[in-house]
Amino acid sequence: MTLHAKSRGVRKGMPGIQLLKSRIGSMKLRHKLFISYLAVVLVPFAILGVYSYQQSEKLQLRQAEAVLQDNLNKIDDSLSYKLQRFNSAIELISYNPNFSHIFNEDYESYYAMYADLKETVDPLLNTASFLNSDIERIVIYTENNLTERVNSIRPISLVENEDWYREAMETLDTEWHIENGRVFGVRRIFGDLHVDKRNLVVVELVPGFLPDSLNLEGIDGAEIAITDRQDNVVYRAEKPKRANGADLSVLRERPADVRLNRGMREADWTLSLIVPADALTVSPWRIVRTTLVIEGIGLAVLLLIISLFSRIFVRRIQRLNRKMKLVEEGMLAVDLKVRAGDEIGELEYRFVKMLASLNRLIEEGYKSTITQREAELRALQAQINPHFLYNSLSVINWKAVEAGEEEISRVAGILSSFYRTTLNRGRDRIPVKDELLNTESYLEMQLIMHDYNFDAEYEIDDEIREMEMIKLVLQPIVENAIEHGIDQKRSGRGRLKIGGHIDSARGVLAFTVEDNGPGIEPGMEEEILVKQSKGYGLRNVQERIRIQYGEPYGISITGRPGEWTKVTVTLPASQ
């Protein structure tokens, strides 16, 4: 009882997060998978539901805007067509030479004035009104002393104070205006060069012209407004749902409205169609219900799949765990902390032990190989006593100079340079220029020994000379080329070509040693690299490169029997 009570006290004192982690860690893997899959499914489903709802609403609005834009275009086409017909009637009057003469002529005879009005003015005005049923009246405002007629001829002084008067007198085109729902067009009548009185023709349309032309049937809650070039509302047609008296500036501030604007072709007006957004879309609850039904069906199917998949997955892990126990003693180990007590936790424990053993074996083998190769290299270098060698070469050089033997002095100098770069004070890495100097010194000795019976060519890029590489790479390859290539050539003069450049495509430092000896037989390239020669041959160079830089780098051999052999060395391009 005491032990259990103490255990409960510890659990009670545990922080909530740690307790939750402990319970999750002890939960069966199948349950963890089910919960995690469920969470992974629910989150995208929720996002997809919200996204589909928003996209459906946007799509409806775009389609409705397209329909509204089409209606607005039709309204503009209809209204502009009618205004164009009225403008033709106005132009017929304003450009009529008889009208220009009558309204710019100072009549002295009342009979002549009456005859002109009766025979010319009245027929034309009556014809224009008869042919256009939407024209209520045509009035000529004139500065001439013609007899005033209430519905056709009036003095121009009556409209001199109107806002549109100055603009009409200064332009050549017809100006359309709306005042208090009344639509009228104004145009100046010009005289001749000698007499040009102030005359205006005003065509006023019937009061129902705009309501009939701005048809909003079938668009619930829609409102259409006409604004002038100063963005002032000159006319507004609205459905009963709109509050009367609201101007366009107030309507534009409503974010829930869809607003479309179109400039008219025939008049300097702008048509504005304003429709509530909620009148253009289906009820959001219908979209939500449809989305929930589809997501519910999909979720049910996915839950069934998740349940089956989690059972199969856990069964496979358990089977793998039993197999791993059979090889437990030879497995690996890494610094991996096992935190959970479920099947995955047990699998991690077995895996850690397996990995530890394998890492230990690999590390021991790798260190053993490196130690062996370094010992071989140092054994090769230890064969030469640098102090004794330098002293000997100095004595030879001094004696040769004393005896006047310049050739012997040059040979001693070459040997001194060769061994100095070879030993490099015990360091394994040297600049490329020192490796090339070592190779050139060795090759010069070979030329002397061969009585200069072959040619040596160099093609080395200057940019690689300051880079670093491991030493004693090129000299063994040159030695191999002379021994198995140049020395084996039966006819013709031997040629040895050494190249060095950066292969930008692969990002490596590449050296080539090519000879025109007897070449190699097909299939011999790999055998040369794995065969142990008597001296420090290509195999040792290959292994040193692989140990130092890894598998991607090393030696490759190509050739053609009886013609040439080419050895290519690739190293990392490092400064």
The H or E element spanning position 422 is helix 406-423
Neighbour-count burial of 144, counting CB atoms closer than 10 A to its CB (0-12 exposed, 13-18 middle, 19+ buried): buried
Which tokens sit at 370? 């490196």
Look at residues 560, 549, 474, 488 and name the one whose alpha carbon lies nearest to residue 525. 560
Domain boundaries, the chain: 62-279, 429-572
Tokens at residue 24, please? 């999750």
Please name the amino acid found at residue 470. Answer: I
Task: Output the CA–CA distances (angstroms, integers) from residue 501 to 434, 435, 441, 478, 514, in the order listed.
Answer: 16, 14, 20, 17, 15
Residue 567's nearest CA partner among 505, 524, 507 is: 524
Distance CA 169, CA 91 (A): 15
Considering only the top CATH level, what class is 429-572?
alpha beta
Q: CA 33 → CA 92, 218, 297, 306, 345, distances in Å?
A: 87, 55, 21, 8, 14
- Please give the Cα distance from 74 to 82 (Å, whole number): 12
Q: What is the DSSP string of 138-168?
A: EEEEESS-PPPBTTTEEEGGGGTTSTTHHHH
pLDDT at 363: 72
Q: CA of 174: how far to CAs of 131, 141, 171, 314, in Å? A: 19, 15, 8, 86
Count of CB atoms situated within 10 Å of the CB of 257? 17
> What's CA 566's distance to the chain center, in Å?
46
Predicted structure pTM score: 0.42
Chain centroid, CA 124 distance in Å: 69
Burial class from Cβ neighbours inside 10 Å (0-12, 13-18, 19+) for residue 516 reads: buried
Beta-carbon count within 10 A of 421 CB: 23
pLDDT of 477: 92
Query: Which pLDDT belongs to residue 442?
Result: 83
Cα 287 to chain center, whole Å? 34
What are the beta bridge partners of residue 453?
none
Q: How would DSSP label each residue in 259-307?
A: EEEEE-SSSS-EEEEEEEGGGTS--HHHHHHHHHHHHHHHHHHHHHHHH
CA 285 to chain centre: 38
| Per-residue tens of pLDDT for the chain, all 575 residues | 444 444 444 444 446 677 666 666 666 666 777 777 777 777 777 787 777 777 777 777 777 778 778 888 888 888 888 888 888 888 888 888 888 888 888 787 888 888 888 888 888 888 888 888 888 888 888 888 787 877 788 888 888 888 888 888 888 888 888 888 788 989 888 766 566 778 889 998 888 888 887 776 666 677 888 888 888 888 887 654 443 344 444 444 455 577 788 888 878 888 888 877 666 665 556 666 777 787 778 778 877 877 776 676 666 566 556 555 655 655 454 456 665 666 666 666 766 676 667 667 767 766 667 766 665 565 455 444 454 465 556 667 666 776 777 777 667 666 666 665 555 555 678 899 988 988 888 888 888 888 889 999 999 999 999 999 988 889 889 989 998 899 998 888 999 999 999 988 888 999 999 999 999 888 787 777 776 555 457 888 888 888 888 888 999 999 999 899 999 999 998 75
Determine the Cα–Cα distance for residues 536 and 549; give it in Å rounded to an integer: 19
Instruction: Note the pLDDT of residue 558.
Output: 92
> Judging by beta carbons within 10 Å of its beta carbon (0-12, 13-18, 19+), is residue 293 exposed, middle or buried?
exposed
Residue at token pair 């009637």: 89
Whether residue 345 contacts residue 25, with contact meaning beta carbons closer than 8 Å, is answered with: yes
Q: Does domain 62-279 have CATH number 3.40.50.2300?
A: no
Q: In the beta sheet, which residues pair with residue 510?
A: 501, 570
Which long-range contacts link 229-232 to residues 24+ away (Cβ below 8 Å)?
229/268, 231/270
